[in-house]
Amino acid sequence: MTVLTQLRQGLVASCQPVDDGPMDDPRITAAMALAAEAGGANGLRIEGLDNLAATRPMTKLPIIGIVKRDLDDSEVRITPFLEDVAGLADLGADIIAYDATQRPRPVPTADIVAAIKAAGKLAMADAATLADGVQALAEGTDILGTTLSGYAYEIAPAGAGPDYSLIRAYKDLGVFVMAEGRLNTPARAEEAMRQGADCVTVGSAITRVEHITGWFAAAVARGADD
């Protein structure tokens, strides 16, 4: 069974604790991953080499690996360097995701994709627009993700929902489509599949306790004010 077959029509749990939060520990990330697997996840998205090293031996699920960096001279954060690709490949990521936006970056996207393929891994383009997707396909990516829609080029307005139109546009390109971004309810994840996604990634609503608690705390406060 291929990795894409394992992921098709399934859920990827993005196990990424809040940076420097109380759950930001590789052992906890691995535990999150196992809990997500027990809940029915078909795959995992893991950030950081330490987290990947802790998680890979614990599960046979496909793993999408990324490295996030805060750069001084670029807004690109997701797997910006060739050494990031090498590290993720060495530690057993099945898929390596990278920022596929057309913004200034330290390494061209074509070089990132070439390195991923040379390592024998699948490439996932974390993209924001149709143009991003078209370029990523031309460079050989295997998966188009709506990951950065509303986060690159422009910030989605408060309360904005998932970018279903981009899911449909990517589907029309005839590629494996990963819906990702603001899919924070089961209903939204279901609708993403109905709009043509092959797989759905959910992060904050599953693994970021601080965010989930904040949603409920805000709702309780609103109710108390009524």
Would you state the pLDDT for residue 160? 87
Domain ranges of the chain: 3-225
Q: Which fold has domain 3-225?
A: TIM Barrel (3.20.20)
Would you state the pLDDT for residue 101? 98
Would you state the pLDDT for residue 89? 98
pLDDT tens profile 159-192? 789 999 999 999 999 999 999 999 999 999 999 9
Would you state the pLDDT for residue 195? 98
Would you state the pLDDT for residue 156? 81
Backbone angles phi, psi at 41, to 5 degrees: -65, 140
Other beta carbons within 10 Å of 27 = 12
Would you state the pLDDT for residue 158? 72
pLDDT tens profile 118-146? 999 999 999 999 999 999 999 999 999 99
Identify which of 163, 178, 171 has the alpha carbon closest to the alpha carbon of residue 124: 178
Would you state the pLDDT for residue 157? 77
Would you state the pLDDT for residue 154? 83
Other beta carbons within 10 Å of 48 = 23
Residues of the chain with pLDDT under 70: none
Would you state the pLDDT for residue 5? 98
For residues 36 and 31, give the distance between their C-alpha atoms in angstroms, rounded to a whole number. 9
For residues 192 and 100, give the distance between their C-alpha atoms in angstroms, rounded to a whole number. 21
Would you state the pLDDT for residue 105? 98
> pTM for this structure?
0.97
